[in-house]
C-alpha cells in the first residue's frame, strides 16, 4: 500500500500536500513544514530492496554535498531524515517550472533570456567548484525557474566531491546522454570543465529549442558528443553568447572556459552591436586570473532582463531513454 498520499506526516513535521514530480529514484512532494510554517519540497527515495542501504547512503551524501554550497542560484537543502524506512531530503520549494518544462511549453528562448540563465547557472557552478564539487548532471530538468526569474540548480544526486569519494561506484558512468561531456561519455576522470560542457549543451538547446547531439539512442548520442560538432546556432545570437557556448562545447576539456570566465564574458552590457566580445578564459590560459563578477551584478542582470516566468504544471518522470548508466570497468 502506498503511504505517500496528501496529508501523510513525515517525522512528525513535514505534511505532504501534493506530488509535483517523480523519477526512477524518488518522488518530490510539496509539503508543509509544521514547525516553521512554510512550504518546502520533500524528495522521498523510493523504497529499495537489495540496494536499499547503498542508495540511502547516496541520498544522504547528496544532502551533505548540497548543504555545503550556499548560492542564490542553487536550491537550498534544509534537512535529511528517515521515517519508517523512507529516506527523504527537505529542500527549498520553487513555485515554477523547470527549464525542460519551459522549453516544452514555449520552444527556444530569446538570446537575452538565455544570457540571464547562463550567467546564473555559471555562478552556481562556480560556487560548487569552489567547494570542490562537480555536479555531473546539469540539464534543463535539473534547473527550476522561480516566479521572479531566478534559475535554481538542483539535484546533486550524482555529484562528485573532488576532495573525497564520488557518489557513484568505480567504473560507472552516470548522467544524461543528451548533456554529458566527451570525457564523461568515455568514462574518464572528470574535472569542473565537464560541467561547463553541459552548460554549453544546455545553452545551445535554449537558443535552438532542440537537443544538439540527439541521435535517437543513449549510446549513439554519447558517441556524438565525442566525435561530432554541434549544429550551428541561429544567426541572431549575439557574438559574445555565440563565443561562450562554442567555447564551452570544446571537445578537449582544457579548451573550455571556467565558470567565472563565463560570468565575466556574459555579465556585461549585451547587444547586437557588440563588435569584439571579450575572450573567454580557458582552464589552461589564465582562467583563474580572469576578473569575476560579484554576485550582485548577476542579480542586477536578472532584474534587467528576467522574464515573467509563468507557472507550468510539473510533468511526470524522466523518460528512461534519456538516461545512461553503464559500467566502464
Chain segment 5-19, per-residue pLDDT in tens: 999 999 999 999 999
Tell me what the mean pLDDT of segment 225-237 comes to.
Answer: 96
Give the range among 168-182, 197-211, 309-323 with minimum mean pLDDT: 309-323
Distance CA 184, CA 135 (A): 12
Q: Is the pLDDT of residue 165 over 70?
A: no
Catalytic residue list:
137
Per-residue pLDDT at 181 = 96
Distance CA 193, CA 160 (A): 13
Per-residue pLDDT at 279 = 44
- Report helix, strand or coil for 47: coil
Contacts of 77 (CB under 8 A, 6+ apart): 63, 66, 67, 89, 90, 91, 92
Q: Is the pLDDT of residue 147 over 80?
A: yes
Neighbours of 46 (CB within 10 A): 15
Give the range among 47-56, 241-250, 283-292 with minimum mean pLDDT: 283-292
Give the range among 76-80, 243-247, 255-259 with minimum mean pLDDT: 76-80
Question: Where does 9-92 sit in CATH, by number?
Answer: 3.30.200.20
Tell me what the mean pLDDT of segment 68-91 comes to.
Answer: 89
Give the range among 141-155, 159-173, 208-222 with minimum mean pLDDT: 159-173
Per-residue pLDDT at 126 = 95
Using an 8 Å Cβ cutoff, are 19 and 28 in contact? yes
In the chain, % of residues over pLDDT 90: 54
Question: Where does 99-327 sit in CATH, by number?
Answer: 1.10.510.10
Per-residue pLDDT at 305 = 35
Alpha-carbon separation of residue 94 from 125, 146, 318 (angstroms): 19, 6, 19
Q: Is 136 left (phi over 0), alpha (psi -120 to 50) or beta?
A: left
Q: What is the pTM of this model?
A: 0.78
Average pLDDT, the chain: 78
Domain boundaries, the chain: 9-92, 99-327
Tell me what the mean pLDDT of segment 300-316 comes to.
Answer: 32
Per-residue pLDDT at 87 = 87
Amino acid at each position: 500500500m502506498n503511504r505517500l498520499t496528501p496529508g501523510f506526516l513525515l517525522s512528525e513535521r513535514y505534511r505532504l500536500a501534493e506530488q509535483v514530480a517523480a523519477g526512477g529514484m524518488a518522488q518530490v512532494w510539496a509539503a508543509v513544514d509544521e514547525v516553521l510554517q512554510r512550504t518546502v519540497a520533500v524528495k522521498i527515495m523510493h523504497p529499495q530492496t537489495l540496494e536499499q542501504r547503498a542508495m540511502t547512503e547516496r541520498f544522504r551524501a547528496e544532502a551533505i554535498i548540497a548543504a555545503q554550497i550556499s548560492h542564490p542560484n542553487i536550491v537550498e537543502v534544509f534537512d535529511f531524515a528517515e521515517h519508517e524506512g523512507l529516506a527523504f531530503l527537505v529542500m527549498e520549494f520553487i513555485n515554477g517550472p523547470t527549464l525542460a518544462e519551459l522549453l516544452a511549453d514555449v520552444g527556444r528562448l530569446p538570446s537575452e533570456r538565455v544570457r540571464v540563465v547562463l550567467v546564473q547557472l555559471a555562478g552556481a557552478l562556480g560556487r560548487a567548484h569552489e567547494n570542490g564539487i562537480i555536479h555531473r548532471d546539469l540539464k534543463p530538468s535539473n534547473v527550476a525557474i522561480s516566479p521572479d526569474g531566478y534559475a535554481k540548480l538542483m539535484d546533486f544526486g550524482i555529484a562528485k566531491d573532488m576532495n573525497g569519494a564520488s557518489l557513484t561506484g568505480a567504473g560507472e558512468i552516470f548522467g544524461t546522454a543528451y548533456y554529458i561531456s566527451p570525457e564523461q561519455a568515455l568514462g574518464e576522470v572528470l574535472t569542473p570543465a565537464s560541467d561547463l560542457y553541459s552548460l554549453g549543451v544546455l545553452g545551445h538547446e535554449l537558443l535552438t529549442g532542440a537537443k544538439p547531439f540527439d541521435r535517437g539512442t543513449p549510446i549513439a548520442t554519447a558517441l556524438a558528443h565525442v566525435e561530432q560538432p554541434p549544429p550551428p546556432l541561429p544567426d541572431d545570437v549575439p557574438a559574445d553568447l555565440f563565443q561562450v557556448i562554442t567555447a564551452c562545447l570544446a571537445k578537449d576539456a582544457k579548451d573550455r572556459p571556467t565558470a567565472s570566465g563565463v560570468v565575466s564574458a556574459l555579465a556585461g552590457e549585451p547587444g547586437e552591436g557588440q563588435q569584439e566580445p571579450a575572450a573567454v578564459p580557458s582552464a589552461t590560459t589564465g582562467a583563474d586570473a580572469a576578473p569575476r563578477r560579484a554576485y550582485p551584478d548577476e542579480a542586477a542582470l536578472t532584474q534587467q532582463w528576467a522574464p515573467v516566468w509563468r507557472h507550468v504544471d510539473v510533468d511526470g518522470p524522466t523518460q528512461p531513454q534519456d538516461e545512461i548508466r553503464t559500467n566502464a570497468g
